[in-house]
Amino acid sequence: MSFPKNFLWGGALAANQCEGAYLEDGKGLSTADVITGGSVNHPRMFAPNIKEEYYYPSHEAIDFYHHYKEDIALFAEMGFKVLRLSINWTRIFPNGDDKTPNEAGLKFYDNVFDECHKYGIEPLVTLCHYEIPWNLAVKYHGFHNRKVIKFFLNYAVTCFERYKDKVKYWLTFNEINCSAMPAGALSGLALVQEEDLKRTEPFCLDGLKDVPQERYEALHNQFVASALAVQEGHRINPDFMIGCMLCHITWYPHTCNPKDILACQQKDHLFNDFCGDVMVRGAYPDYMMPYFKKNNIDTSFITEGDKEILKKGTVDMYTFSYYMTNCVTVDPRVEQVGGNLIGGARNPYLKLSDWGWQVDPDGLRYTLNLLHDRYPNIPLMVVENGFGGVDKVEKDGAIHDPYRIDYLKKHISAMKEAVEEGVPLIGYTSWGPIDIVSAGTGEMYKRYGYIYVDRHDDGTGTFARRPKDSFYWYKKVIETNGEIL
C-alpha cells in the first residue's frame, strides 16, 4: 500500500502572508495589516496608527497579488494537484459589516482560481486565516460580539455562491484552537480592548489583556459561525468538502510519572481535542464543563439554539498543521523550548530547528493514527508542515536546501507509514511552497519555500522568484506519488 492514486499533493499559503497590495482595488484594513515585523528575539507589535517608520510585512508581502500567474505556473511545474490559500475577508467586505461585496476583490479570486484550474490544480480555500477586518475588531470587539457571526456568514455565503463551481474544498477558520489560548492574539481574532485602541505607541501582542470569559465566548461564536457556514455551504453545493483546521501540537508526557501523564492528557484536551470534538462531533465534550466551572467561566453563552447549530454543522474532514511536538511535565526544573505559537518541555530525543522548534517526523505518524482513532469516520489532511530555515543564494544563483529536503522527506515518509497503517489521509499541502512572511515573527528571513523570493526584512528586493533544490525534489515526489523521496 502507498499513497492513494488521487492523493492531493500541493502547498499552502495565507493571504496576509503573501498577497501584499494591502489597500488595492478597494481592499480594507485587516487585523494583520496593523501588525509590525519582528524576529525571533523581537516580538511583533500592534501598531494600529499606521506610520511610515514602522514596517508592516503584510502591506507588500511577496506581492502575490501581482505575481499570482507566475507563481501558480511554478506550482504547476512542480505538479501540484491542490493549492491551499486563503481569501482575504477585507478584499470582499472591506469593513466586514458592508452591505454589498467589493466586486474587484471577488474578481481577483476568480482570476486566481481560474489560473489554478488552467493547470488542473484544485483550490483549497481557508475563509479566515489569522485576520479579520480591522473595523470588526474596533467596532464590535471581534468575534466576542455575536453580530460578527452574521457578518462572517454573509462573507462565507458570498464566497460559496460566487465560487461554487470553482472551489470544492473549504476550511472555515485557520488553527481555530489557537483562539482557545491566550496566544490567540495573533489569530487576528484578537480581542483588542478599548484601552488598547487608545494607545498611540505600538504594543506587544503578548501584552494584550487576556480575559478567559471573553476568549471562550469569542471561540464559541466562531464555532457557531463555522457550523452555520458548513450548513449553508452544503445547501449551496452538496459536493463541498468543508473542514475544520487545527494547529495540532502533539504532546508527550515528559516522563512516565503519572502526574506528567495526567498533565499531558489535560493539555491535549484543552489544546487539541476540545475544538476538534466540537467541530467533528458537534457538541462540547464532557471534560470542558468541569474545566469551565473550575475557572469561573459562565457557560450561559452556549444556548440551546447554538447546540442545535453545532450538531447540524459538523465538518466533512479534519485538517491540521503539524510542525513539531512538545513535552508536558509537572516538574518546573525541566528546560522549556519554544514552538509554533506555543512552547513546552524539552524532549531530549529531538533536535531543534533554527527557530527552536522540536523536529519530530515520527510524531506525525503517531498523530495521524491518534486522529484517525478519535475521528474514525472522516478523512484527514495535513494542510501545513514544513521547515523554516535560512537560505543562501550562491554566486551562480543556486539555492541548496538539503535541510528542508531532509525534513520534508522524513515527514512524508511518516505519512506514508500512517497510510499503510490504514489512516485515510487524502492530501498534503506543505507550508509556504514559495517564501512568504512568517506569521510568528513577521520575517522573510525565515523561509519555507521550494521557490526563493528576493525580498528581505528591510523592505529591499526585486520580488524575483527562483527555484531551490527542493523544488526539483518535490516535483519528483509528486511525479512518483510519494514513491521516490
Torsion of CA 243, 163, 27, 437, to 10 degrees: 50
Minimum CB distance to ligand BGP, residue 401 (Å): 16
Q: What mask of x and - would describe binding to ligand BGP in positions 1 to 20, judged by CB under 6 A? A: -------------x--x---
Among 257-265, 364-372, 440-448, 476-484, the segment contacting ligand BGP (CB under 6 A): 440-448
Site for ligand BGP in 318-377 (CB under 6 A): 321, 340-341
Residue tagged active-site, from 175, 217, 232, 443 = 175
Site for ligand BGP in 224-283 (CB under 6 A): 247
**Whose Cβ is closer to ligand BGP: residue 27's or residue 84's?**
84
CA atoms of 345 and 182, how far apart (whole Å): 18
Question: Is residue 440 involved in binding ligand BGP (CB under 6 A)?
Answer: yes
Site for ligand BGP in 101-140 (CB under 6 A): 130
User: What beta strand segments (E) does 22-73 contain?
Assistant: 45-46
CA atoms of 93 and 105, how far apart (whole Å): 8
Minimum CB distance to ligand BGP, residue 443 (Å): 8
C-alpha 84 chain-centroid distance: 10
Q: Which residues contact 248 (CB under 8 A, 6 or more apart)?
A: 272, 320, 321, 322, 367, 371
Q: Which of 125, 127, 124, 18 is nearest to 81 (CA)?
A: 124
Question: Is residue 58 involved in binding ligand BGP (CB under 6 A)?
Answer: no
Residue tagged active-site, from 19, 60, 232, 384 = 384
**Whose Cβ is closer to ligand BGP: residue 302's or residue 324's?**
324
Task: Count other Cβ atoms within 10 Å, centred on residue 32.
Answer: 28
Whether 175 is catalytic: yes
Whether 335 is catalytic: no
- Binder among 175, 260, 391, 435 for ligand BGP (CB under 6 A): 175
Give φ, ψ of 296 to 5 degrees.
Answer: 55, 40
Minimum CB distance to ligand BGP, residue 384 (Å): 6
Task: Count other Cβ atoms within 10 Å, centred on residue 142.
Answer: 26
- The x, y and z cell numbers of residue 387, run together, are 521547515
- Where is 173: in which H helix or E strand? strand 169-173
Question: Is residue 427 involved in binding ligand BGP (CB under 6 A)?
Answer: no
Report the catalytic residues: 175, 384
Q: Point out which residues bind ligand BGP (CB under 6 A).
A: 14, 17, 130, 174-175, 247, 321, 340-341, 384, 388, 431, 438-441, 446
